[in-house]
Structures are given as C-alpha cells and as structure tokens.
Amino acid sequence: MKRLLLIGGAGFIGSNLVKALLKKGIFSIHLLEPTFANVSRVEGLNINIHRGLLSDVDKVQSILLNNKIDIVIHLVSTLIPGSSGDDFENEFINITFPSLRLMDFCAENKIKFVYFSSGGTIYGNRKTNIPIKENSEIAPISYYGWSKQMMENSILFKNRTKNLEYLILRPSNPYGHGQNIHGKQGLVAVAIGKILSGQEIEVWGDGSSVRDYIYIDDLSKAIVCLLMLDNVYNKTINIGSGVGYSVTDIINALDEVSEEKVSVEYLPSRSVDVSAVVLDISLLKELIDFQPVSLKEGISRFYQEERNGK
C-alpha cells in the first residue's frame, strides 16, 4: 500500500482526488491542513488529517517519517491569477521557501514529490503553437503564474542536484462538484452561482478568451492513474481536455443547460489574463487511457447537482 501526504488536500481539487484515491483501496492517505482550514469536504473519510503549517518544517518532516510516506502531493497555494505583489511575497515566505526545504527532505529520504502547477497561466499569452506542449516556453504574466514557474524551476534544480524524484502536473481549468460557486475563481462555478442566485455573470473582456476546461472527475482519475504507475516519474505532464472554449462558449453552454437566457456584464479586460490556452495532452494519452467527458456534459452534471442542492 502506498502512503501519501497531500498538502492542501481538503480543497476543491484535493478532496475530489482523495475520494478517487480511496476508491482504489491501495492508498493510505494523510492530509496536512492548517488549524484554521475548513476540512468539511473530507470529513468522515478514511484518512488521517494532520493540523499544521507547511512552514513548520520540523512538524512536516516528523509526519513524513512517522507515517513512512512514499509520495508527497503538493496542492497548496494562496494565490489566484489576480493576486498582487504583496500576495506573492506572502506566498514566497509561507509556501515557496518552506517547499524548498521539503524538497530537500524528500530527496534525502527517497520520497516522490508531486507538484500541482498550472496548465494555464504558466504558459503566458500564446498566438501560435496551440495546443501547447509541455516543452513549450513558459512565460507567465501574473504573480500566480510566476509562483508556479518558481516552484517548477526549484523542483528541476533539486532533481539535478539531489536526485529528487518528481512529477509536475499542469492541469487546465478544473470545474465540477465541490467547487465553490460563490467564490472568485473558476468561470464555470462562479457563473453557475450567479445563475442560481439570479445575478449577472461578470466577464472580463469581450468573451473571446479561450481556455481548456476539464471536469473534476476526469482530472482526479487521470492523477490516480499516474500515481499508480511506478515507472512514471521525472516528467512534466499536461492534464486537460485538449479542446479550447471561449468564455462566450461557456455562456452559451450555460444558456442551454439552464434553459434560460443568462445575463452577462462585460468589464474591461485585465492585464493578468492570458488570451488563449489549450493544452496538448498527447503525452498524457501515451501514459494512460484518458477519455474526458465533453464540456456540455460536464457543465450539465455540475449545474444539475448545484440546482438540486447535492
């Protein structure tokens, strides 16, 4: 049985991943969450929750040793694409720098390090070479993307100098059950929240920006399959649908699924938002059997669940 520690595993992506891992019955799962963190998404599951901060290096190392952890899955971040320079500084102090020490410890103790990067902001603005391959240049234009690039570069450095075994996963825009429909991040989720509360959907720009969206169940299943492959390591892997949809496409899909005309307010575009990101997922499909659901099917499932209060 593989023993995993998920750092930030009680959030939207982490909680869905935990449930997918538990279904396999071959993983012993530990979570590291701050004392103040809400863990309601994973309450009652057969997992071990450790309360503490990533910056408490001694405590994290004790958890790894005492529980004989085989794989660390790093999901935690305090940033979103619109985060400021001050937010970035806080992220570096509390997340990035402690993560460097964690990488050293993992390398010394032969613990695999799996990092959730970004399959969107890290690539920056693209007008050509779309879909984007993993070996494409990364050129983020937001502090969020820059923080991901810093972490990726640090992982590669630790691999070169200390033989850290790693996987860098670059998921596209995930959406689906468990996502906060009243939050500030995730177009599909926020739009569903606005529709159900009778409010206008705010769109930054003219609706032409294109993203790659992936239903959360597909993302979770893909990650579980990769974790089960012992011979897949020291790779950077895109995880998405491989198909691009504009904001207008999303609005049209929500029109159809909700069976009502969605009200939209268009706001000035933001400098931190990239214009187009679609991932090349050919490497992922070489490694695992991967057939994601269509955007319409995924949105329909998500909308119906939220409307019915599930």
Q: Model-level pTM?
A: 0.94
Is residue 299 over pLDDT 90?
yes
Tens of pLDDT, residues 133-165:
999 999 998 999 999 999 999 999 999 999 999
pLDDT at 128: 67
Q: How many CA atoms lie within 13 A of 194 on its CB side?
A: 22
pLDDT band at 10 (very low <50, low <70, confident <90, very high): very high
Is residue 191 over pLDDT 80?
yes
pLDDT band at 272 (very low <50, low <70, confident <90, very high): confident
Give the chain's end-to-end CA distance (angstroms, integer).
32
pLDDT at 310: 61
- Burial code (b: 16+ CB inside 10 Å, e: under 16) for 187-225 equals bbbbbbbbbeeeeebebbeeeebbbbbbbbbbbbbbbbb
Percent pLDDT > 90 in the chain is 82
Is residue 231 over pLDDT 80?
yes
Of residues 221 and 273, more confidence is placed in 221
Is residue 291 over pLDDT 90?
yes
pLDDT at 262: 83
Angstrom CA distances, 98 to 12, 91, 106, 111, 164, stand at 23, 10, 12, 16, 16
pLDDT at 250: 95
Residues 6+ apart with CB under 8 A from 99: 54, 74, 151, 154
